[in-house]
Amino acid sequence: MERGHYVQLKPNVWKWQVGPHAYSLKKYDYQSDADKIRFIHEQLEHAGADIAVPIEPYSDLLMIQQPWIESNRKVQYSHPEDRTESLALLHRLHKTRHQINWRDSGHFQEINLNRKWAHRLEKWQQYETFLNRTLGASKTKKITQLASDSLANLAPIPREKLTLLHGDVVHHNFVREKKSNKLYIIDFDLACIGPPEVELVLWAHRVLPHYNYDVNTFLSDHPTLKKINLSYLLFPNELMREWLYATTLSELQLRTFLPKLKVFTDKALMVMPKLWQDFGRGN
């Protein structure tokens, strides 16, 4: 690394201060991964899609350097403004398919959401002993049944209009610049190609808990999502993802994490029958 003051944020991420200027540095294990990130940013810049933090030249091809974004608050899906702007940013990203041939670039795999969720269910069942102990046998069985029934009734999303998908629409992958209040999307490590509907479904799963799973109000606020297959909202994706994350934690970490996760789980399981009633097999 070059001269300056470094603060390590993650094993492969640093904040680099050089005089009055600050940068984010991220090191990849493989140049192909770093090349993918450079390709995404270069193509977005050429297309005039001002939605991502630009990258800057760096001597080490395994490193990605970007200006450090100072933010006065974290983006949260509990804030209506953040929900609206993050969704608009995703729509703009997906529309770049009209200008950029993401599909034939050779940098991306195509996502199959049904297959991904089937693998998630398989992994969930592998941790049945842990789940029965921490979540409880009854709730574990209920989530397993919801996932199985949902997958059995999901029609595959049509493979039309393939475009670049960010791949990880967690709230902290959106950052708001302090001075301009402009929202950017960051961290394209899991970027892939697929139908826009896949990513919109995954974004909806992240946001729905903040609507207490009231789909009608959710769609009223975000009418562009009325075209997605609402049956995909029945899969207990957030519950399974969070509980599978719990399997990676130490006993000490679980003591802090589990009480909050159990509250989230109980709330979700209480309202999910209404989701099935409104958008279940009969629709």
User: What pLDDT score was predicted for residue 95?
Assistant: 97
Last residue of a domain, one of 24, 40, 67: 67
- How would you write the pLDDT of the chain (283 residues) with one tens digit per residue? 668 889 999 999 999 999 889 999 999 999 999 999 999 999 999 999 999 999 999 999 999 999 999 887 889 999 999 999 999 999 999 999 999 999 999 999 999 999 999 999 999 999 999 999 999 999 999 999 999 999 998 999 999 899 999 999 999 999 999 989 999 999 999 999 999 999 999 999 999 999 988 898 999 999 999 999 989 999 999 999 999 999 999 999 999 999 999 999 999 999 887 777 776 544 4
**In terms of C-beta distances under 8 Å and separation of at least 24 residues, what long-range contacts does 268-272 make, across chains too?**
268/209, 268/213, 268/236, 268/238, 268/239, 269/139, 269/142, 269/143, 269/239, 271/212, 271/213, 272/146, 272/213, 272/234, 272/236
Query: Does residue 74 belong to any structural domain of this protein?
Result: no
One domain for residues 95 and 162: yes
According to the model, what pLDDT value does residue 276 have? Answer: 75
Predicted pLDDT at 97? 96
Answer yes or no: pTM beyond 0.75: yes
Same structural domain for residues 60 and 107?
no
Q: Are 88 and 228 in the same domain?
A: yes
Asked if residue 84 and residue 58 are part of one domain, the reply reads no
Q: How many domains does the chain have?
A: 2
CATH code at position 198: 3.90.1200.10
- The answer on 30 and 115 residing in a single domain is no
In a domain, 56, yes or no: yes
Same domain, 89 and 34: no
72 lies in some domain: no
Question: Is 75 among the domain residues?
Answer: no
Same domain, 128 and 242: yes
Same domain, 60 and 99: no
In the chain, beta strands by DSSP E: 5-10, 13-18, 21-27, 63-67, 163-165, 174-176, 183-185, 192-194
Judgement on whether residues 163 and 240 belong to the same structural domain of the protein? yes
pLDDT at residue 283 in the model: 42
Range of the domain at 16: 5-67
18 and 89, same structural domain? no
User: Cβ-count burial of 61 within 10 angstroms (0-12 exposed, 13-18 middle, 19+ buried)?
Assistant: exposed
